[in-house]
Chain A
Amino acid sequence: MKQTKEPSRLSPASATTRAAHYVPWLVALTLPLVVDATTSGNLAYCLLWAFGAVGLAAMWGYGGILSFGQTAFFGLAGYSYGIFTLNYGDAWFDSWLGLGAGLVVSIVAAALIGYMIFYGRIKGVFIGIVTLSVTLVLETFMSQTAGPQWAIGEARLNGYNGMGGMPPLTVPWPGGPLTLENASFYYLVLILLIVVYAAMRKLLDGTFGLTLIAIRENPQRAEMLGVDIRRHQLLVFVLGCALGGLSGALYTIWGSYITPSTMGLTSAAMPVIWVATSGRKSIGGTILGTALLVWLSQNLAVYGSQYALILLGAILLIVVLAAPEGLLPFVARHLRRMQGRAGQDAPRGGACLKREEGKS
């Protein structure tokens, strides 16, 4: 049995590396204990963008589908949450139903757009153009909804001024519903992120992930394994967009506010920058990188939002030139090499090696 060869991979260094994967999660779990409530809320903001980034990493890093449309589903889910909760009230179950409504709308929209893209045999860079067009069309449309005629029930869309006043998420509690805000909202986002991370690793480290990589690298050959490539591309697209929708709904809940600019050109570029910088083939790297980059942008934005954009652009440029697989996989690969256990066959991205280790 070939499995007998594999335990040799489980060296102490490998165990250390594996244990190191848990460190960021442990740090994240303890952060609200050492910072004040407002900072916890700000940290939740940094984390909530990671869902959409993970969705893009699955689509792009694994499936080879570069989408600029994460923000379209972000906005759709955010507005849907607002429209639902402003119409149906702020009872605890209404807020959760609103979150569900946001996800459902983004999934249905992604399924429709994805069907047209993949069953229409749109490929490569044209997918980027179509998805970018979708988000820009949505931004343009929502921007001209300032008049009172643009309302769905009680919910005024409000054009560029944005929609506000949505209720936060609440949970039933003895003595009255408990509002999830600051630290409690942070923990909600973190738990969701851990669940999404575990589920995506399970999915992408399995044969679904292998199939996506096969489609990315040689679609014709993948088809000759009996793979319906359009169906797999549609599945990962819908999954990725749903995660973009989750980010959008959580963003709206966090700030009780959403504007069309969240679907604009600058916003649409952000997930691509975060994922390219973090490492599109690494789900854990994408989460960590996105949270750090959002945190960095937030802190720089104090001095003017243009500084954050200039720095992000510079970081992206450096990463593309020096570490095309992404910053975190690049650092991890060099750390492994320094530990003297560079695999003779280390892949360019982290995903394949991780997957092989996962099987061992």
Chain B
Amino acid sequence: MTTLLETRGLKKHFGGAHVINGIDFRIDAGEIRCVIGPNGAGKSTFFKLITGEHRPSEGSVMFLGQDMSHVLPHERIRMGMSIKFQIPGVFPDLSVRQHLQLSLHRAKDDRPESLDELLQRFMLENEEHVLARNLSHGKKQWLEIAMAVSLRPKLLFLDEPVAGMSVEETHATGELIKRLSAAGLTMMVVEHDMTFVKQIASRVTVLHGGSLLADGPLDEILARDDVAEVYLGKKK
């Protein structure tokens, strides 16, 4: 298996607060990896260290074997990372079509059929000319995932992709992610919703108190007592 992403002894502290305490982590090509953990586990900080929004205090993030310490966020995207933030980061005054035009242009793919295909795959055909400000929350999430996917990344990061979605939208998003995975896309998903995690993940990583508590196949991890204790707040 080709290793796409690896962190070695990753640490982050803000003043005296140690938020990430030395995480060794790896994602291989073809995986859907879910990173889970209770509130305050350090998931968001870990995500931001990987995407370049935060600089590590110690340790390193390696992508495709290259140290990312001094690689700017936009350069990471050009190298093959793609990111969907937790809060939908769309451009309110642009239409759905213009969003996809822009992201396809960044991917150097200006073919109209690519745009039509994206609209169809992400269930946005009827919103093509709608301004992003007028989209429902779920559609904004899909639009953002569509933009991230259109960049043809080697590794797609999704930070809570179903936050604020209805049950139906959550399920549809899960199916969408499975289809993307079947097409060969590697993904790292930070998520709270365990129903969704069970729907999509083959392997999970559990963070707790800024450290890696467990890492492995979904069923094995969920069967562990220590995971149940930190995640559900009780012993099994």
Indicate with 1 or 0, residue by residue over A210-246, a CB within 8 angstroms of chain B CB atoms. Answer: 1101100110111111111100000000000000000
Q: What separation, in Å, do the CA atoms of A249 and B144 have in the docked complex?
A: 45
Q: Would A221 and B74 count as touching, CB distance under 8 A?
A: no
The majority secondary structure among interface residues of chain A is helix
**A349 interface residue (CB < 8 Å to B):** yes
Q: 5 A–B contact pairs at CB < 8 A?
A: A210-B98, A211-B102, A217-B94, A218-B90, A228-B72
Binds A, one of B111-119, B191-199, B214-222, B228-236: B111-119
Having A220-B89, A347-B93, A352-B94, one finds 20 other A-B pairs with CB under 8 Å, namely A2-B119, A3-B112, A210-B94, A210-B102, A221-B90, A223-B73, A223-B74, A224-B51, A224-B77, A224-B83, A224-B89, A224-B148, A225-B77, A226-B77, A226-B78, A227-B106, A229-B74, A345-B129, A345-B131, A356-B97
Whether A356 touches B106, Cβ cut-off 8 Å, given contacts A218-B89, A347-B131, is: no
Question: How many angstroms from the CA of A307 to the CA of B151 in the assembled complex?
Answer: 55
Considering the chains assembled together, what is the distance between the CA atoms of A217 and B128 in angstroms?
19
In chain A, positions 192-219 with a C-beta closer than 8 Å to chain B are: 207, 210-211, 213-214, 217-218
Residue of A nearest to B144 (CB): A221
CB proximity to B under 8 Å, residues A122-151: none
Q: Are B106 and A217 in contact (CB under 8 A)?
A: no
Q: Is the CB of B151 within 8 A of A218?
A: no
Separation in Å of the B151 CB from the closest CB of chain A? 7
Within the complex, the shortest CB–CB distance from B134 to chain A, in Å, comes to 6
A213-B93 contact in complex given A2-B116, A345-B134, C-beta closer than 8 Å:
yes
Give every chain B residue within 8 A of A229 (Cβ-Cβ): 74
Q: Which B81-124 residues have a C-beta within 8 angstroms of A?
A: 82-83, 85, 89-95, 97-98, 101-103, 105-106, 112-113, 115-116, 119
Q: Which residues of A contact B130 (CB under 8 A)?
A: 345
Instruction: List B residues at the A interface (Cβ < 8 Å).
Output: 51, 72-74, 77-78, 82-83, 85, 89-95, 97-98, 101-103, 105-106, 112-113, 115-116, 119, 125, 128-131, 134, 144, 147-148, 151
- 8 A Cβ contacts from A334-360 to B: 345, 347-349, 352, 355-356
**Which residues of B lie under 8 Å from residue A217 when comparing CB positions?**
91-94
Contacts of A226 in B (CB 8 A): 74, 77-78, 106, 151
Q: Smallest CB–CB gap between B227 and chain A, Å?
A: 31
B103 to chain A, nearest CB (A): 6
- Residues A214 and B94 in contact, CB atoms below 8 Å apart: yes
Are A207 and B102 in contact, CB atoms less than 8 angstroms apart? yes
Interface Cβ pair total, 8 Å cutoff: 89
A15 within 8 A of B: no
**In the bound complex, what is the Cα–Cα distance between A291 and B83 (angstroms)?**
45
Main secondary structure of the interface of B (DSSP, over half): helix
Report Cα–Cα, A2/B148, bound state, in Å: 22
- A340 and B200 CA atoms in complex are apart in Å by 48
- Roughly how many angstroms separate A106 CA and B105 CA in the complex, as a whole number? 31
A155 to chain B, nearest CB (A): 44
Q: Report the minimal beta-carbon distance from A106 to chain B, rounded to whole angstroms.
A: 28
Q: How far is the CB of A230 from chain B (nearest CB, A)?
A: 9
Asked if B94 contacts A213 (CB within 8 A), the reply is: yes
CA distance A210 to B103 in the complex (A): 10
Asked, given contacts A1-B112, A2-B119, A2-B128, whether A224 binds B73 with beta carbons under 8 Å apart, the answer is: yes
A115 to B224, CA, bound (A): 54
Instruction: Give bound CA distance, A227 to B74, whole Å.
Output: 6
CB atoms of A213 and B89 under 8 A apart:
no
Which A residues are CB-close (under 8 A) to B102?
Answer: 207, 210-211, 214, 225
When chains A and B are docked, how far (Å) is the Cα of A121 from the Cα of B152? 29
Assembled-state Cα–Cα distance A352/B96 (Å)? 12
Q: Which residue of chain A has the shortest Cβ distance to B104 in the bound complex? A: A207
Q: How far, in whole Å, are A229 and B106 apart by their CA atoms in the complex?
A: 13
Determine if A356 and B93 form an interchain contact, defined as CB atoms under 8 angstroms apart: no
- A225–B98 contact, CB under 8 A? no
> Which of chain A's residues has its CB closest to B134's CB?
A345
Instruction: Determine how close the nearest CB of chain B comes to the CB of A92; give it in whole angstroms.
Output: 43
In the complex, A211→B93 CA distance in Å? 12
Considering the complex, give the chain A residue whose CB is closest to the CB of B127: A345
Query: Are A2 and B115 touching (Cβ within 8 A)?
Result: yes
Q: Which residues of B contact A352 (CB under 8 A)?
A: 93-95, 98, 131
Q: State the CA gap A74–B148 with chains docked (Å).
A: 42
Given contact pairs A220-B89, A345-B134, A352-B131, A225 touches B95 in the complex (Cβ within 8 A): no
Contact present for A214 and B129 (CB under 8 Å): no
Is B95 touching A345 in the complex (CB atoms < 8 A)?
yes
Name the CB-closest residue of B to A355: B98
- Encode A145-173 as 1/0 by CB contact (under 8 A) with B: 00000000000000000000000000000
Give, as a whole number of angstroms, the nearest-CB distance from A348 to chain B: 7
